[in-house]
Structure 1
């Protein structure tokens, strides 16, 4: 480090690791993007009377953030990322709020989003119930043994001069550090409950999206099956029509062949009869010539 100006020299200045295997979070939020997110979420939170936002509202919040800061693909945010970021900001606000409350006004939060979140959710946080004051003296006090019923207790006669002693009051010591410890424990428990609630909401959102994706896949599969059956029916109809036409054509050819065969048979029969008739006539004419 340079002693003159207090700045690190180039040889000792920390450099950003350039190894590609190191993890890099793409969901880092800049201060401007976080401010836009709080503004978009706060408007809808107030419109819903400080109720929970639905999925369409979170999508509107994501669209508002992307409209200002989503010019780069890596900087675009989804509705789930916006909801997780708001949950993280709520946890940070609760921690800051606890520090301010414990300091009795002496601590002022330097977090830039504290004032805006305090105006939105400051009055909606559940009030912490104070724990009962411990009374060590009462717990360690021994109960006097009961008097036996067989021996009667003597009762002194009433007198105007005798006064009953006033009941003794037990001093109870109250330590302020006990309240501070309990308050810190309550704040940690509230943060843990918020973590579990946000994880359950994320798991339920993921499960619903997975179920929606499965249902969409089933519907897509049914549509493809119906289209395949329709195409198979059309192909079968075309093949059946071609087969019927081929059978009709073959039947026509068979009938034509049978007709031609019958004609040829009749022609051959007639030619044979004519030849026989000519032979008979020739024999008759030869016999007549021989007799003469």
Structure 2
């Protein structure tokens, strides 16, 4: 599933082409996504100017004067900017039109969603989400306070969207390797110094992934159709049995929270 860097890469790709343009409608070819696309989407957004293109966790938020359009890419979705006259492919389920330009949603597995929220209030799906890891208020002291006395393994804490948003399996594994922390170490056992180190490594990992255009996960491509390349820089994810890039110890795999977890037993304590 696309994680924060993939969604942010997409946001940065589509925003320049669409900001402050008037929406000329929507073409819904298949409304049967994870949640049905609203029947009145075309009438709702037609004539509205797009004020901003934002990201909250792994959701894209297109804000208009009367409300916002919430988009999630699911497991295999992508958003691309194409000429409005471009013939759709089989899995191109939705176009948001801006004159001669279309924002096209392609979603082979149909696990994505496109929902409308009236007014300035955030959509209920965004309620209760945790802190953004690239925001200034995400720092060592915050992590130390939030994790204090908790026995939750550090990796599962980072992947809990009610605590920190947008950090999925790949980037949690990679961040913990860079910080030298065993994924199973309870978050409450990390002192202030290790929390500060972990926050710095999370930021570094996410920024490196953004610079590489994200990771290629199944069908993920950015808004211009280019794949992400961060997977070529993985230290541990998906490398079970391969030598650690730092110490040559074989990378190990364990299951945590029903997800595969990769780590170096020598570099991570």
Name the TM-score, length of structure 1 as normaliser. Answer: 0.20
More helix by share: 1
RCO comparison, higher one (Cα < 8 Å, 6+): 2
Between structure 1 and structure 2, the one with the greater Rg is: 1
More strand by share: 2
Name the TM-score, length of structure 2 as normaliser. Answer: 0.22
